[in-house]
Amino acid sequence: MLFSRRSAEDETVVAMLASAIRRDISFGVLHPDEKLKIEALRQRYGGSNHSMRETLRMLVSEGMVEATNQRGFRVTSATEDDLADILMMRIEVEKLALERAMKHGGVDWEAAVVAAHHQMIRAEDQLCQQPDDATALGWDEACRSYLTTLISACRSPRLHEMVGRFYDQSRRFRLARLREGRIDFGARRDRHEALKSAVMERDFASALRLLEEDTCADLRG
């Protein structure tokens, strides 16, 4: 029991550290290609050498961090080629997951989609009224929650995990567009209203097209 408890505590610390570093990569606090030194990260985020190294290994598996040949770590690059590759993968896995969710989802899933959509719109309103890092993070998390809910009935944990992974990899591109004022919230809201309706009506062609259009618009405009 002692070892099990310690393991659970270690996993909690690693999860918290990963969340903080993932957030700072997404917001550009940690820059693309920036070297990540264990001791400097510990001073900034806390944790032990072991927990920080495990955190970085987790972020490597997610594609947020790269391991270098010298056994160090750095933030993954963020070039146009990186964006194109992430966008391609996001579209493919999201469309596959949504198609499966629309086939298998029932009334409870539909209710959850409507609720998550409502929460996303509320977060968007708050962001537009008071644009700062806190509301931007709340909006981004609400958008992630909505996407997660949309594909939650896909009946594939691995597919679900892949959708989340590519969403996280694309966050810094999306948040950069937000900081630059390049997201059209009016058009975005119209797309999501149409997407929600298509999902409820099981209009597969329209739903998959709208999902792809929205992902592309968020990342490239």
- Cα atoms in the 13 Å half-sphere on the side-chain side of 34: 14
Domains of the chain, each with CATH number or no CATH: 2-75 (1.10.10.10), 80-219 (1.20.120.530)
- In this structure, which long-range contacts are made by residues 37-43, counting pairs with CB atoms below 8 Å and at least 24 apart in sequence? 37/72
* Residue 10: pLDDT over 90: no
CB 33 within 8 A of CB 77: yes
Q: Tell whether the model's pLDDT for residue 17 goes beyond 90.
A: yes
Q: Hey, CA dihedral for 53, 167, 35, 21, is it positive or negative? A: negative
- How many whole angstroms from its chain centre is CA 47? 24
More confident: 134 or 210: 210
Q: Using one digit for the tens of pLDDT, what is the confidence trace for 65-102?
A: 999 877 789 999 999 999 999 999 999 999 999 999 99
* Whole-number Cα distances in Å, 2 to 8, 84, 190: 10, 47, 53
Residue type, 221: G
Q: Average pLDDT in the 20-44 region?
A: 92
Q: Which two tokens stand for residue 66?
A: 């790269």
The whole-number pLDDT of residue 155 equals 97
Whole-number pLDDT of residue 26? 86
pLDDT digits (tens, 9 = 90+) for 133-157: 889 989 999 999 999 999 999 999 9
Q: What percent of the chain has pLDDT over 90?
A: 80
Between 176 and 106, whose confidence is greater?
106
The mean pLDDT value for 44-71 works out to: 89
- Residue 5 clears pLDDT 70, i.e. is over it: no
pLDDT above 70 as % of the chain: 95
Cα 28 to chain centroid, rounded:
15
Average pLDDT of 51-57? 93
For 186, half-sphere exposure in the C-beta direction (CA atoms, 13 angstrom radius) is 0
Reduced 3-state DSSP string for the chain: CHHHHHHHHHHHHHHHHHHHHHHHHHCCCCCCCCEECHHHHHHHHCCCHHHHHHHHHHHHHHCCEEECCCCCEEECCCCHHHHHHHHHHHHHHHHHHHHHHHHHCCHHHHHHHHHHHHHHHHHHHHHHHCCCHHHHHHHHHHHHHHHHHHCCCCCCHHHHHHHHHHHHHHHHHHHHHHHCCCCCHHHHHHHHHHHHHHHHCCCHHHHHHHHHHHHHHHHCC
CA distance 32 to 172: 10
- Label residue 2 by pLDDT band (50, 70, 90): very low
**What local confidence, expressed as pLDDT, does residue 3 receive?**
41
